[in-house]
Amino acid sequence: MSPHPQHPAVEVSGLVKRYGSTVAVNGLDLTLATGTVLALLGPNGAGKTTTAEVCEGFRRADAGLVRVLGLDPARDGDRLRARIGVMPQGGGGYPGVRAAELLRLVAACAANPHDPAWLLDVLGLSSVGRTPYKRLSGGQQQRLSLACALVGRPELVFLDEPTAGLDPQARHLVWDLVAALRADGVSVLLTTHLMDEAEALADHVVIVDAGRVVAQGSPAELTTRHDEQQLRFRARPGLDLTLLRAALPEGLEVRETTRGTYLVRGTIDPQVVSTVTSWCAQQGVLAEELTVAKRSLEDVFLELTGRELRS
């Protein structure tokens, strides 16, 4: 546990990081409260990994203030590394090293490590302990990388897309582990593209785009901030929605989102639901799977960051 619990686990203010003419991070602020999970979401190239790498002490900021466990990662990297765990994007073990050997090597650098054999077992890797890194499957490499990040009993863990490429069983195992870390008071900074992952794990979500924060809050705050819900139903494709639009109050968006899936978006009250079902009845259409729900985190994300692909 941190000897300075009055500090946030991570504090970033006005962070700027350039690679030549590319501005990867452009005045980013975030705070990770001790013992909580923060999810950094953003399109490809938004600056998430760069932000994490500056916090981990692997890259130097061009401007801004960064404090990790109360320390400056650029100056106090050695002291910091003993207290943090890092799971980088895409593994990164030596090709010839055996799985258990790698974990034992990492454990040997820590003052009070977990038992590597126990951790291999928790992560379902006992049977491949003697397998060279290069012969592990992608998912096994990911899990070994997570084991390496956790074996030193860190106070703060950086997980860069920890479940990318994992099968559903392994993904749920990682989610359980993150929840267990949080329950033990460990702080977690997680980057992810999976909205359900952020919703399931994070106390606080920070959405970044082009190196800046575009929104932040708890998943519930982000999805209920606006008085907006979505009514969806399935019916035969290509329905003419003109009369439905005319019957509904102004300001509601009505469209067929994908073939045979219809969306009414805005303030959905009982009268709106009644209007939609009456219209369906007049059309002789059975509205299947009719649901009324708040916006999902993915809706919020797409609204804030747009739908166009990033380079």
Q: Could you list the residues that contact ligand ATP (CB under 6 A)?
A: 19, 22, 24, 42, 44-50
What's the closest the beta carbon of residue 30 comes to ligand ATP, in angstroms? 13
What's the closest the beta carbon of residue 311 comes to ligand ATP, in angstroms? 7
What's the closest the beta carbon of residue 162 comes to ligand ATP, in angstroms? 13
Cα 24 to Cα 183: distance, rounded to the nearest angstrom: 33
What's the closest the beta carbon of residue 274 comes to ligand ATP, in angstroms? 43
Cα angle for residues 148, 108, 85 (degrees, 5° grid): 35
45 vs 217, which CB is nearer to ligand ATP? Answer: 45
Confirm if 148 and 104 have CB atoms less than 8 A apart: no
Confirm if 262 and 234 have CB atoms less than 8 A apart: yes
14 vs 45, which CB is nearer to ligand ATP? Answer: 45
What's the closest the beta carbon of residue 49 comes to ligand ATP, in angstroms? 3
User: Quick one: how far is CA 189 from the chain centroid?
Assistant: 9
What's the closest the beta carbon of residue 214 comes to ligand ATP, in angstroms? 13
Which strands form 212-217's sheet, in the order they lie side by side? 84-87, 156-160, 187-191, 37-41, 204-209, 212-217
- The token pair at 38 is 């923060």
Cα 44 to Cα 37: distance, rounded to the nearest angstrom: 21
What's the closest the beta carbon of residue 41 comes to ligand ATP, in angstroms? 9
Amino acid at 66: V
Residues for the chain: how many in total?
A: 311
- Listed in sequence order, the residues at least 6 apart from 109 whose beta carbon sits closer than 8 Å to its beta carbon are 152
According to DSSP, residue 29 is labeled E
According to DSSP, residue 91 is labeled -
Beta strands in 69-171 (DSSP E): 84-87, 156-160
22 vs 271, which CB is nearer to ligand ATP? Answer: 22
Radius of gyration over every alpha carbon of the chain, rounded to an integer in angstroms: 23
Coil vs helix vs strand at 173: helix
199 vs 209, which CB is nearer to ligand ATP? Answer: 209
Cα 120 to Cα 100: distance, rounded to the nearest angstrom: 7
46 vs 120, which CB is nearer to ligand ATP? Answer: 46
45 vs 77, which CB is nearer to ligand ATP? Answer: 45
49 vs 163, which CB is nearer to ligand ATP? Answer: 49
Q: How many alpha carbons fall within 13 Å on the CB side of residue 195?
A: 14
What's the closest the beta carbon of residue 27 comes to ligand ATP, in angstroms? 14
What's the closest the beta carbon of residue 14 comes to ligand ATP, in angstroms? 17
106 vs 206, which CB is nearer to ligand ATP? Answer: 206
57 vs 266, which CB is nearer to ligand ATP? Answer: 57
